[in-house]
């Protein structure tokens, strides 16, 4: 029997990171290099191959804040997160007191953003279909185009499903996209999220039921500064049938 204060407060396991780059050795030190495929843990590579460009995923919640929280974030060299805002309000450390205080968030008009010391960062949490582990993987992105693409995919799906996201099938993909920073054309690789319409329509025929209510995933390693798991965010009960859950891990 659980301790009363802990009862009903279990956490969804955070299984690992999915990345869009890897560290390579330079002449003096390692540096990050972007990839045109997902860099995945071994259990994911066993299902999707070593360099997958497409993953079949599902979300654990209908709440956007729990599946794709996104904020402007600024980090100190040795102090970790020092400011986090949504474009309207920010929580920023007061250097005199060392405590977080609420201030106005200027978003892309902020001097720190213009100096590339603050970035818009989205943390995508999802389950991967076919991988026989229960929990969520995390993918961080600071790409403007990737964040817009994921938001668009989620908004479109919610219109189709009357607001439902949990356990429905999506396709997450890395695609090339031409951009023109400073007037110079170049190709970058960005995220795209699409609803798997045929499977989604089939899944919507089932009657949902609440089977779990868990806290946000466990806090990650401190050294990974792009991760901020929002410990105060509670994951609500997700609508899913037993048949849907079984189907998720077997296909």
Residue 206 has pLDDT above 80, yes or no: no
- Least confident among 99-103, 127-131, 166-170, 239-243: 239-243
CB atoms within 10 A of CB 64: 15
Residue 126 has pLDDT above 60, yes or no: yes
Query: What is the value of pTM for the model shown?
Result: 0.77
User: For 88-117, what is each residue's pLDDT tens digit?
Assistant: 999 999 988 889 999 999 999 999 999 999
Domain boundaries along the sequence of the chain: 14-65+121-250
Token representation of residue 46: 């066993």
Residue 193 has pLDDT above 90, yes or no: yes
Q: How far is CA 153 from CA 111, 158, 175, 233, in A?
A: 31, 9, 14, 22
**Higher pLDDT among residues 199 and 15, named by residue:** 15
The pLDDT value given to residue 122: 95
What's the rounded mean pLDDT across residues 158-174? 90
The pLDDT value given to residue 52: 96
The pLDDT value given to residue 188: 86
Residue 123 has pLDDT above 50, yes or no: yes
User: For 144-157, what is each residue's pLDDT tens digit?
Assistant: 999 999 999 999 99
What's the rounded mean pLDDT across residues 133-143? 92
Token representation of residue 171: 């396709």
How confident is residue 221, by pLDDT bands cut at 50, 70 and 90? very low
CA-based nearest residue to 151, from 120, 180, 108:
120
The rounded distance, in Å, linking the Cα atoms of 182 and 163 is 39
CA-based nearest residue to 20, from 153, 174, 193, 137:
174
Q: Helix or strand or coil: residue 203?
A: helix
**Higher pLDDT among residues 119 and 4, named by residue:** 119
Mean pLDDT of all residues belonging to the chain: 80
How confident is residue 83, by pLDDT bands cut at 50, 70 and 90? very high
């Amino acid at each position: 029997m659980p301790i009363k204060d802990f009862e009903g407060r279990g956490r969804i396991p955070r299984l690992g990171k999915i990345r869009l780059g890897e560290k390579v050795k330079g002449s003096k030190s390692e540096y990050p290099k972007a990839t045109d495929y997902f860099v995945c843990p071994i259990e994911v590579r066993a299902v999707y191959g070593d360099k997958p460009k497409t993953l079949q995923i599902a979300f654990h919640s209908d709440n956007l804040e729990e599946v794709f929280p996104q904020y402007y974030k600024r980090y100190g060299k040795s102090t970790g997160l020092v400011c986090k805002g949504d474009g309207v309000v920010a929580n920023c450390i007061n250097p005199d007191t060392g405590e977080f205080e609420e201030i106005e968030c200027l978003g892309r008009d902020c001097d720190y953003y213009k100096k590339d010391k603050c970035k818009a960062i989205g943390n995508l949490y999802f389950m991967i279909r076919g991988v026989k582990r229960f929990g969520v993987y995390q993918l961080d992105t600071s790409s403007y185009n990737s964040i817009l693409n994921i938001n668009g995919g989620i908004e479109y799906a919610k219109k189709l499903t009357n607001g439902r996201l949990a356990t429905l099938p999506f396709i997450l993909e890395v695609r090339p996209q031409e951009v023109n920073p400073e007037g110079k054309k170049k190709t970058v690789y960005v995220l795209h999220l699409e609803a798997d319409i045929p499977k989604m329509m089939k899944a919507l025929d089932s009657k949902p039921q609440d089977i779990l209510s868990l806290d946000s995933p466990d806090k990650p390693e401190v050294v990974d500064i792009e991760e901020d798991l929002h410990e105060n965010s509670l994951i609500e009960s997700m609508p899913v049938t037993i048949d849907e859950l079984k189907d998720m891990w077997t296909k």
